Amino acid sequence: MAMTDLLSAEDIKKAVGAFSAAESFNYKKFFEMVGLKTKSPEDVKKVFHILDKDQSGFIEEEELKFVLKGFTPEGRDLSDKETKALLAAGDKDGDGKIGAD
């Protein structure tokens, strides 16, 4: 399954472009711009599984660094600071990874 099976290619392009500058990534705005806020929990889990490159059931810090590339190959890598901020926002139990729930 491709990301564009779930989200608009145009929305993805705009969102990735909006955060193309280093240290500009805002996960809340990004997820809103790509349309995830309006998706069902099932669709959000499908997006999660696309981003979970090693299919471990979790998105670890190393996978988060490449989250924008998970939406489009043209996306940039997140900085260490941006990656850690995204991990902190999603890691509710403090185990260093984000689960689908």
Binding-site annotation, residues for Ca(2+)? 52, 54, 56, 58, 63, 91, 93, 95, 97
Q: Which residues are annotated as a binding site?
A: 52, 54, 56, 58, 63, 91, 93, 95, 97
> Which residue, among 70, 79, 72, 62, has the nearest Cα to 22 in the 3D structure?
79
Cα(97)–Cα(24) distance, integer angstroms: 22
Say how many CA atoms lie within 13 Å of 64 toward its Cβ: 23
Cα(23)–Cα(5) distance, integer angstroms: 29
Output the six-digit token pair for 23.
Answer: 């240290």
